[in-house]
Amino acid sequence: MSVEVAGAVRAKPDGPLKLAVPRGALLAETLDVLDAIGIDTGEVRGESRSLIFEGEGITLVTMRPSDVPTYVEAGAADVGITGKDVLLEQADRVVYELLDLGFGRCRMVLAGRTGDEKLGESERRLGMMRIATKYPRTAQRHFESTGRQVEVIEVKGSVELAPLIGLADGIVDLVATGRTLEENDLEVREEIVECTARFVANRVAHKLRAAEVDALTKKLRETTSS
């Protein structure tokens, strides 16, 4: 069991259930799914700059997808929606993964320059590939589990840049359509894992607000599996 500092565990899961909603690429489909199960998302869709939207029996809290596990683990949000890529990268966060929502489908891949053998050559002659990524832990785990040595270089911005100007031999990144790769003269070499949006819950909320969490899970399951 993990043990946190006193200050980091404070949360008050009273009042309406708090759902962490990911901004960015997953937002539109998340809101569509919430609409479909009868949660009004009109305000979130509006021009408002607020981050918290009080609804009927549920409060929507919008945030970066990569912050969802942090808020849910601490219990500041009771439940949340985020990508599997985020959960894999933050595998040490204790959140309950209750449901595969099926949307936001994309692949975590290893990509290199089209027609260029830099990846293979580095591995063969230097014993080590240099991989740029925004997902250092996922990348490290993938290469470790396949018995290869890599130098993982974490970058924050456009990772496609790294192999083009010689920072890295290849990249590990999330691709949806593959167009960004193509436009940057990169191609997929290996597929690491397929990622979709997931419904997650705080451990204590899952126990103490079982009826609400289960009802929401059931509605989400019915909507997303049809």
Partner 1 sequence: MIHPIPPGTRDILPDEMRELRRLHLAMVDVFERHGYGEVATPAIEYDEVLARGDGRTAASAYRFFDERGDLLALRSDMTVPIARLVASRFAEAEMPLRLCYLANAFRGVRPQRGQMREFAQAGVELIGAPAPQGTAEVVEVLEATLDAAGLGRAVIGLGDADLYRQLLAEFGVEGEARESLLARLAAHDLVGLEVELAGLEGIDDGQVATCMALSQLRGGREVLGRARELGGEAVERATARIGETFEALEARGVADRVQIDLGLLRDLGYYSGAILEVYDPALGHVLGGGGRYDGLLARFGIDLPAAGFALYLERVHVAQMEEEPASRGGSS
When asked if residue 99 is in the footprint of partner 1 (CB under 8 A), the reply is yes
What is the CB neighbour count within 10 angstroms for residue 196?
A: 16
Query: By the 8 A CB rule, do 41 and 31 touch?
Result: yes
CA distances from 97 to 128, 129, 220, 225 (A): 34, 33, 13, 17
Smallest separation, CB 120 to partner 1 (Å):
31
Smallest separation, CB 200 to partner 1 (Å):
9
Compute the radius of gyration of the chain from its Cα atoms. Answer: 20
Q: In what order do the strands lie in the sheet with 186-195?
A: 150-154, 129-133, 170-175, 106-113, 186-195
Q: List the one residue out of 136, 154, 41 whose CA is nearest residue 91.
A: 136
**Count of residues that bind partner 1 according to CB under 8 A:** 39
In whole angstroms, what is the distance from residue 154 CA to residue 157 CA? 10
When asked if residue 191 is in the footprint of partner 1 (CB under 8 A), the reply is no
When asked if residue 94 is in the footprint of partner 1 (CB under 8 A), the reply is yes
When asked if residue 103 is in the footprint of partner 1 (CB under 8 A), the reply is no
CA distances from 175 to 67, 146, 172 (A): 20, 21, 10
40-48, 148-156, 176-184, 202-210 -> range binding partner 1 (CB under 8 A): 202-210
When asked if residue 9 is in the footprint of partner 1 (CB under 8 A), the reply is yes
Choice from 8, 51, 126, 176 touching partner 1 (CB under 8 A): 8
Measured from the CB atom, the residue of 14 and 183 that comes closer to partner 1 is 14
37-45, 74-82, 125-133, 173-181 -> range binding partner 1 (CB under 8 A): 74-82
The dihedral through the CA atoms of 91, 93, 97, 103 has a sign that is negative
When asked if residue 12 is in the footprint of partner 1 (CB under 8 A), the reply is yes
When asked if residue 144 is in the footprint of partner 1 (CB under 8 A), the reply is no
The set of residues, in sequence order, having a beta carbon less than 8 Å from that of 132 and lying 6+ positions away, is: 153, 154, 155, 159, 162, 163, 167, 168, 170, 171, 172
The footprint of partner 1 on residues 44-73 (CB under 8 A) is 59, 73
Choice from 25, 37, 74, 128 touching partner 1 (CB under 8 A): 74
Choice from 4, 32, 144, 185 touching partner 1 (CB under 8 A): 4
Measured from the CB atom, the residue of 57 and 189 that comes closer to partner 1 is 57
Could you identify the residue written with the tokens 């945030």? 63
Measured from the CB atom, the residue of 4 and 182 that comes closer to partner 1 is 4
The residues that touch partner 1, with contacts defined as CB under 8 A, are: 1-16, 18, 59, 73-76, 92, 94, 96-100, 198, 202-208, 210, 214
